[in-house]
Chain A
Amino acid sequence: MLIVWVLAACGPKHVQTTAIFSEQLSAAALTAQQTVTDLHAMGGMTDVSYQNWQAGFLKLGLGIKALNQALRDSNDKAVLEQVGVMVTLVTDLVNLEIPKLKEPDRVLVLLVLSSVKSTLLVISATWGGA
């Protein structure tokens, strides 16, 4: 019984912390998406770049949902895999699309994306993957 209570105290908190970061991640991604949408509306990027960004956000949204399912399933391997996929996705977007932006748009998008990426890295570290 003692074991049950010790784990009940540790386990759910661990997952709950990650779940809170997942909520923060999804909110940061929405902010980044809105920023890109605004920049496109103001003529700050080409239609092709805009579509690349949106395709990235689509994959990010699916990744967040997969992460949450992994948390529900207590599948720690899947949690780390999903975070890894999303880190790669964001890194690729930064490398491919950021250089196409002009200042100060470039700094703005980098800022909102850094929030997404840092949250991903915190989740990875929280889960023991860093």
Chain B
Amino acid sequence: MASLHTEVLVIGGGSTGAGVIRDVAMRGFSGMLVDRSDLATGTTGRFHGILHSGGRYAVKDPHSAKECIEENRILRRIAADYVEDNGGLFVTTPADDPGFGDRFLTGCQAVGIPAQEIPVPEALRLEPRLNPEISRAFTVPDASIDAWKTVWGCARSAQEYGARILNYHRVIRLLVDGRAVSGAIVRNEVTGEEFPIHADFVVNAAGVWAGQIADLAGCEGVTVLPGKGIMIAMNHRLVNSVVNRCRMPTDGDILVPIRTVCVMGTTDTPVPDPDRLEVTQAEVDKMLDEGEQLVPGFREARALRVWAGARPLFQDTKVEVRSTRELSRSYALLDHRERDGVERFLTITGGKFTTFRRMAEVTVDALCAQLGEDRPCRTDEEALPDCEDGRYYWLGARLAAREAALTDDQLICECELISRRRLEEAIEQRGTANLDDVRRTVRLGMGPCQGGFCIYRAAGILHSVRQTPGEEANAALLDFLQERWKGVQPILYGDQVRQARLDDWIFQGLLDVEHLPA
């Protein structure tokens, strides 16, 4: 049986874990990251894509707000290609208290968020679809950010510094050596092989699953409550900038334009199991109602897809908050030496995507302190891969690339403008037969037709690139079809029913995929 050794083992390949592995690697440690699934498939891959200015927390949680604006500035600098500089608006709709705007401005000023009130006609000029009944509007430097690019960017950067990324490796148990954690037994979820990874230090960055990992080290009472939030992607950018309701943060008050869509979010419902997130009709209706407040006619617009993510809400049921007192309420760093008498083991959980880099920094600082090392963090200085020129991503980038290759390459996914070459590269690079993994790399099948045209092509290309048996391509095709269906099924109405029916005709009427040889 193979056995691996590393200085730092990071458990969890969401934004936090990816941030930690990059930070660890940049500080000169050897590092390994494991995730039970693909990177960024948990909470990170299931949020609406906002890079907060902090405005949302300016009144409720100034400490978080300050962290957000600081990290917003850093990410704009180091992750420019993953960021769309869409800007943000806070607007007071007829359902909101106009007085909140003053508290909002004061809150923003206090923590250094450059918020500015603009006349309502100016706001409506910027966002013509916005509810014309709004009474106040404020600009903030919100932006949109691509979670998958960011996580893979951090992973690639970490790899360049020598780290290893082991996706589809599930932690079965932790190796505990006396009073210290010394690694983990992991199982390769593709081959089924189990083997130990010995490590000098283990960081638990399993997010909403962090309690399960802490339990494996005998550190009880790390309770991470999953808070389910649903998001709906609309077929168009109904707004050009991130539009927030100017009120205390609650359900359904953000509309985020990202790439060719905009995403409405979100809800917050406590659920028992982060692996079982179902979208109910009532939640969809609630989002549509709130969307209608921001953009009249929202219900009649075409919804593309709905999904749910689980926020990690940390509660320590063992110790009073002593060990996390100095930290922001937004995330929790648990030093298990202090908390449980277990050495060489840290848990970082909670938080928000915008502050993932900061969370990684404080975690690796604590790791260095425990190891008695003095190695400063540099993740805020060095640009992530493809971001070196400091230019933001822009909506027309893919179209421009397509136009440049118009006559010598094929367009496989018309909705997301994915060329054959790009798809073949992604399949090879990722070394995977799972089209959903490929989707997160190139956005395959994420547009209006939700894979109606590209799934058959992608299966054919997968078959030819990997030269593996047809069953593999068949399984990929059927899995991807089901995966796409999962996201459209709860929002099938209007034009999306038409689309679903066309897809039925293609997959069942024309190709007869339900009788593919198993």
Q: Do A and B come from one complex?
A: no
